[in-house]
Chain A
Amino acid sequence: MEAKTKDLWVFIETNEDGSPKKVGLELLNPGRMMADKQGGKLVAVVIGDNVAESVEQAGIYGADQVIVVEGPEYKQYTTDAYVKALYHLTEKYGPTTIMIGATNNGRDMGPRFSSRVKTGLTADCTSLDIDEETGNVAWTRPAFGGNLMATIMCPDHRPQCGTVRPGVFKKPEAGENKAEVIKEEFHVAPRPSRGCQRGSW
């Protein structure tokens, strides 16, 4: 996919009550530094149900823009609905970078999304920077059970994507909320016909 902007997106995963998971807010910290180096906006992408609190927090913690997809079908995470929504937004806005918290859901959604876009994804990063020479994101992550660190780049495909381990970065300082909020109406069938419904054991 072509990048239409130099914007960096941080996916804000939400809880069932619509509040943000901490890792999304944490990522706004390195996100700010990288968005500035990339010369684009820092955008928070919030998907969930009743997400007013998440939208507000994303603004307080430094997002320039918040893109919101809201609906009861997003209350609980499902691979199908979330990947469809994120794909739709990516196609429409064309960010250059997407960061996703490496929670269980983030690591379920990330590879499904990146392979739909046919772009690169670096898993479970613990350190982030912009490569000075090329301007690409330099994603650093442990491998071999933590015995080795590798720095990975995705030079020719956009958006360049990574999942980032929770707890590695601190939340940025809270500030004045100046974020522009964009509400996207995008809805999917609440119960995908092919399953993935909650049940009991």
Chain B
Amino acid sequence: MRIRVIRDKCQGHARCWAQSPALFELDDEGYILPADIVVPVEQERAAWLGAKSCPERALVIEQDGKE
């Protein structure tokens, strides 16, 4: 599983970070780091919850290369 980060859409709600601070890292302003996130298998549920919690829909879940 991969999380595609649409950095332009991030507005710093930090709801993903609240779900999983290790997976969704923030910069000093509280906005997500721009790189896509490769999710270890054991963290897939946390990643899914984090991506789903984004009010701006800035995080897209990709499974086997598909959304």
A, B in one complex: no
Binding site for A on B (CB under 8 A): none
Binding site for B on A (CB under 8 A): none
